[in-house]
Structure 1
Amino acid sequence: MEEELVRRRERVWEVCKASGLVSEDGTSKTEPNAWEFFIDERHHLVWCNVFKAASSSWMYNFNLLGERGYKEGYLRKSRKSPLTLARARFPRPTVQQLKAALPKSLSFLIVRDPFERLLSAYRNKIEGFRHKFYRKVAREMIAKFRLKTTPAPGAHRSSGIEKSPTFSEFVSWVISCAKKVHSRKSGTYSGIPGFDEHWAPYFRFCTPCAVNFTVIAKTETLAEDEEYIIEKTGIGPALGRTRQGREVRSRPREAVNAAVGGRTEDLLPRYYRTLRREQLDALYDIYQIDFKMFGYDATKYYEMVLQ
């Protein structure tokens, strides 16, 4: 396990250098994006919350941690979002606070295949106007791209959601937002309308070139990676686990953000085959550092798209 974690960190560092994200002296060219981090000083644990990558389960975990962790009964009944509850216990840190906490903490983030995460965000936030918060941006997608996007043969539209943005329209929106980012001198995604935290690239969102994470966990090896984190920090009892890792408390149903209509990984061909090659090329340009940094391969997606 230790050797694999070292390999993951080394890969990140090599990509940081190759991508020009660090200076010649090895320092990051940008400050850490401290706004998105959680710092649990009591357990010496630091987490960058990557949305759509096991974020629901770890948000739940952090709500149990802290000197005044919430009781499970309260979490079940509360109408407040898990993020709102967690931030009440773990306020957004400053850059200085994050830098002070990192040397004495186990720090981690969790990643998944970037294009799988992108589809998960689309299905959960945009498709079918399921979330009130995202309805406005979804309508903006339609207004901007519906007349400009020719529906591809076999384009997927689920029953009852014909009026919501297609995946192709969503991708065009993401690409347009990224162009706004690159036109900025800062090169950051903050303040760019529509470039949401649920699909912002990892290397910008969690700034791994500025933060040397102890653990780079992956959804593909999540069970093993999580057990390592729990064992090293000793948070098992607070999470209701025995030494063998068995959960002794039931987890509220709301803590698991299950996909509606099937697992995202099983639905990749259905959605990505609606994209054209030039769309995928532009999309890969946005996320290619994430692919390289965390060891993912985009080849299969090029086999799915329209030529």
Structure 2
Amino acid sequence: MWKMGVLKVELVFILNLFLVSGDVYNNDVSEHSLELTQSLNLARQELIQETCRRFPPRFGLDDLPRSQLEHILIDEERKLLYCYVPKVACTNWKRVLMILAGKWNNTDVLSIPGNLAHAPGMFRNLSAVSRPERDFMLENYHKMIIVRNPFERLLSAYRNKLEGETPSAKYFQDRVGRRIIKVYRENPSNESLEYGNDVTFKEFALFLTNKSEELADVVNNEHWAPITNLCHPCLIKYTLVGKYETLLDDSLLALNTINAHNVEFPRLAHTGGTAEKLHTYFSQLDLPLIRRLYKLYKHDYRIFNYDLDNIVGFDLG
């Protein structure tokens, strides 16, 4: 019942945005549309809190190793904590934070090289502060997370890192792809073992769900680790909960909330089309394998109010 209520709020929100502006991705945000976005944001916060009450974590914040807080970046001037999630617009949000911190000489977000935004040491993170300072920030700062349908995010990571042609993809194919092929492919060719650039989606799914000892060091990579493992939403009360599906509106609300009016979150002319390709890729997997994948991401599905059946087209029973 509660989840249906939140779904209704999200549908009303999107319909109202069309009525207000005729364009969900309109940069000229009215006070009315900000109010709608804020209402949706509050509904998402309440859903997270309710789900965490139903499925409480087995440990507390003080039990987490410091390394578990490395994804939470700090902007002290604007009193913002941002938990970045790979494959959920984190490059552009890191670029925005660089501009806000005066680490780039203009306000053109997309002019910042992606590798620079991800450079080690670019941002202070919550793992680097003392416990009293951490607790003060968690109590007094805005706390932002942006999430995405778990399987869509997973497919985006696969397409980008194991199917791609970029230097980053070549790195992952060499470091991870070759090893996946060695473990999960019968009679691999010498070329596949050498380059690792033709990992199938099924092999990738087997790699994630079988937990082989040979691949234990890479199976929890941040690009496909569950969001709940990276950002701990049952331990940290996020006050800005955005979604990839309403990215621009949620980002505009966040910038307005922290009084960052000198920078605009970029409006992208196109996306990678991952959502449209979900069924094509997942149809390559049998139902037991999809169920095992779902088990890995079930907390993300529950907490962030995503529906697997409607998107992937399978009934998990």
What range is the shorter-chain TM-score in?
A: 0.7 to 0.9
Q: Does 1:13 align with 2:49?
A: yes
Structure 1 residues 79 and 126, CA gap change in structure 2 (3 angstroms): closer
- Aligned partner (choices 43, 60, 63) of residue 95 of structure 2: 60
Which residue does the alignment assign to 1:154? none
CA distance in 2 between counterparts of 1:39 and 1:296 reads 28
Q: Does 1:168 align with 2:221?
A: no
Structure 1 residues 302 and 128, CA gap change in structure 2 (3 angstroms): closer
Which residue does the alignment assign to 1:266? 276
Q: Does 1:38 align with 2:51?
A: no
- Counting only pairs closer than 5 Å after superposition, residues 220-239 of structure 1 correspond to structure 2 as 220-237=245-262, 239=263
Q: Is the 8 A contact 2:96 2:109 kept in 1?
A: no
Give 1:196 shift.
Answer: 0.9
- The unaligned stretches of length 5 or more in structure 1 are 150-160, 181-190, 242-246
2:136 is aligned with what amino acid? A
Which residue does the alignment assign to 1:211? 236
Give 1:227 shift.
Answer: 1.4
Give CA-to-partner distance per residue, 1:144-189, whole Å, 9 cap, x none. 111299xxxxxxxxxxx99510011101111123x87xxxxxxxxx
Q: Is the 8 A contact 1:230 1:236 kept in 2?
A: yes
Which residue does the alignment assign to 2:118? 83
User: Which gives a bigger RCO, structure 1 or 2 (Cα 8 Å, sep 6+)?
Assistant: 1
CA distance in 2 between counterparts of 1:293 and 1:148 reads 41
1:147 is aligned with what amino acid? E
Q: Is the 8 A contact 1:34 1:98 kept in 2?
A: no
Which residue does the alignment assign to 1:108? 144
CA distance in 2 between counterparts of 1:51 and 1:214 reads 20
Give 1:94 shift.
Answer: 3.0
Q: Is the 8 A contact 2:56 2:234 kept in 1?
A: no
Give 1:63 shift.
Answer: 1.4
Which residue does the alignment assign to 1:70? 104
RMSD between aligned residues: 3.3
Give 1:9 shift.
Answer: 1.5
Give CA-to-partner distance per residue, 1:36-91, whole Å, 9 cap, x none. 1110000111100001011121011011122x321148984769532117x32435
- Aligned partner (choices 165, 174, 184) of residue 145 of structure 1: 184
CA distance in 1 between counterparts of 2:71 and 2:269 reads 20
Q: Does 1:125 align with 2:161?
A: yes
Identify the range of structure 1 (162-171 vs 203-212) with the bigger mean alpha-carbon deviation.
162-171
Structure 1 residues 140 and 292, CA gap change in structure 2 (3 angstroms): same
**SS state at 2:145 partner:** strand
Structure 1 residues 305 and 258, CA gap change in structure 2 (3 angstroms): farther
Q: In the comparison of the two structures, how many residue pairs are matched?
A: 264
CA distance in 2 between counterparts of 1:4 and 1:275 reads 34
Structure 1 residues 274 and 63, CA gap change in structure 2 (3 angstroms): same
2:128 is aligned with what amino acid? T
Which residue does the alignment assign to 1:3? 39
2:290 is aligned with what amino acid? L
1:168 is aligned with what amino acid? K
Q: Does 1:300 align with 2:310?
A: yes
CA distance in 2 between counterparts of 1:122 and 1:231 reads 34
Give 1:270 shift.
Answer: 1.3
TM-score, scaled to structure 1: 0.75
CA distance in 2 between counterparts of 1:141 and 1:116 reads 21
CA distance in 1 between counterparts of 2:53 and 2:290 reads 25
- The unaligned stretches of length 5 or more in structure 2 are 1-36, 189-194
**SS state at 1:10 partner:** helix
CA distance in 2 between counterparts of 1:213 and 1:79 reads 26
**SS state at 1:81 partner:** helix
**SS state at 1:127 partner:** coil
